[in-house]
Structure 1
Amino acid sequence: MARRLRPVGLDFAEEAPVRLVFTAGTAAPPQDVYRALAQEVEDWPRWFGAVTLARPAHGGAGREIRLRGGVRFQETVMTADPEQRYAYRVDETNAPGVRALLEEWRLVPDGTGTRVRWTFAADGPAPFRLALRAARPGLGQAFRTAVRTLDRRLTAGGGSGR
């Protein structure tokens, strides 16, 4: 059953009780990485292994996401700064325990490529926070694998891989 989460602002990325921050590099330029994140939402399952469905909602102001294992998210895009930052808040989910969740992707030019920083900011009761911290290695591995896969798609096809 889907539950409404507490709405949070962009500052939650810095103030959340649990903040998991991961970084990875790509050879692709920021504009290509940004386009894959923010504009080609339906392609996420092709490069982020945990995602089984991704589609824009509310005219691009939101997203519907489904993950392996049946977790579903209804999200609101909080910011979409071309080539720099993409962030979204989860408004509804069927995931147990979570009270608030925001994800932020920051893109920093790095030579001819991009340094990607993903912040997973969340709140929930103590058992949820403990479980999320314990899941840090797995989330980090999923992120790094996703960025490597995305980079291969972007650099091999001269863009989105389409």
Structure 2
Amino acid sequence: MTRRLRPTRQVDLDFLVSAPLRLVFAADAAAPPDAVHTALAKDTEGWTAWFDAVTAAVPTATGRAVGLRGGIRFEETVLADEPPRRFAYRVDATNAPGLRALLEEWALSPTAAGGTRVRWTFAADGRPALRAFLLMSRPGLGLSFRSAVRSLDRRLAS
């Protein structure tokens, strides 16, 4: 069953700093920031080809609908699309139990070698059990993120 999360007026870009739980991961890609940003923000359906956890991604009027392995679904609204440096979205509805609010940001910066430093911030609020679960899942989320960045980089190089 899909349910609405915290009212949208309470979850804006400031939530990236104020969220009760913030997980931040970073990895480098050889591709330049504009190519990485285009893949993140414009090629919605392409996420299934490089982010292993994503099983479905389709654009909507305000963002996208995303399906993850395990049957989790998100309805998202894009809050920031600033090429080539940032892409951020809020989850407005989900079937994930215990989640009250979720905002994700992909921040991109150029590296000295001409590639991209990709920083993914996962800002969430939820029941204590969910927050504990997410903290315990940090290593797995980080591994999934780094694997996705490597896969995206291979996709952009081809």
* TM-score between both structures, scaled by the size of structure 1: 0.94
SS at match of 1:92: strand
Question: Aligned equivalents of 2:20 and 2:92: distance in 1?
Answer: 18
In structure 1, the gaps of 5 or more residues are 158-162
* Alignment partners' CA distance in 1, 2:5 and 2:107: 24
- Matches of residues 1-162 of structure 1 in structure 2 within 5 Å? 1-6=1-6, 7=8, 8-58=11-61, 61-111=62-112, 112-155=114-157, 157=158
Question: In the TM superposition, what is the alpha-carbon distance from 1:15 to its structure 2 partner?
Answer: 1.1
AA of the residue aligned to 1:33: V
Distance 1:132 1:46 in 2: 25
CA distance in 2, matches of 1:32, 1:113: 10
Give the Cα separation in 1 of the matches to 2:40 and 2:135.
25
Consecutive unaligned residues in structure 2, runs of 5 or more: none
The letter for the 2-side match of 1:122 is: A
Structure 2 distance, partners of 1:152, 1:62, is 25
**Residue deviations 1:9-37, cap 9 Å, x none?**
00111111000000000000000000000
In structure 2, distance between residues paired with 1:141 and 1:15: 25
Q: Percent identity?
A: 61
Match of 1:160?
A: none
- Letter matched to residue 141 of structure 1: L
Q: 1:68 Cα shift?
A: 0.6
Amino acid at match of 1:55: V
Q: Give SS of 1:99's match.
A: strand
Mapped partners of 1:124, 1:70: distance in 2 = 19
Quote the Cα distance in structure 1 between the aligned partners of 2:117 and 2:63: 25
Give me the TM-score of the superposition, normalised by structure 2.
Answer: 0.96
